[in-house]
Amino acid sequence: MSGAASRRKGNTWELQVCQLLRDHGWSAQTSRAIRGGTQHGADLVTDAPVDIEAKNQQRIDLAGWVDQAVHQSSGRRPAAVFIKRRQRPPAEAYVVMRADQYLQLLKQADRA
């Protein structure tokens, strides 16, 4: 797949994850939309309590993706990776994050 086609595939997935978040009450935009086409930091800008990376790739690299998400969040919030599943709707994506950050989210939810 060409670089442009791969970027389009990734951009489409980011938009689908944004819509999924909005459908569940969170605001969400791609960081490209906010930063005029350039991207740095998390893939999505949202008021959800996590920074989100969106991945739509055939080759799985969980550790690398989670490390990237954590690095880009700079410790501000827990970081999660939304991984597209082939032939499945966005609501059936996998979400991966470090255990310590997941436990942090559970504590926040318990206090709410």
Structural domains in the chain plus CATH codes: 3-111 (3.40.1350.10)
What is the spatial distance between Cα 88 and Cα 18, in angstroms, rounded to a whole number? Answer: 16
- Tell me the whole-structure pTM to 2 decimals: 0.86
Query: Tokens at residue 103, please?
Result: 């436990």
E strand segments, the chain? 28-30, 44-46, 51-55, 79-83, 94-96
Mean of per-residue pLDDT scores for the chain = 89
Q: Check residue 76 and give its pLDDT.
A: 81
**Which comes out higher in pLDDT, residue 1 or 38?**
1
Neighbours of 36 (CB within 10 A): 6
Neighbours of 59 (CB within 10 A): 5
pLDDT reading at 7 higher than 80: yes
Residue among 32, 88, 25 nearest 56 (CA): 88
Neighbours of 14 (CB within 10 A): 25
Query: Tokens at residue 109, please?
Result: 């939810």
CB 17 within 8 A of CB 25: no
pLDDT reading at 19 higher than 90: yes
Average pLDDT value for residue range 38-54? 83
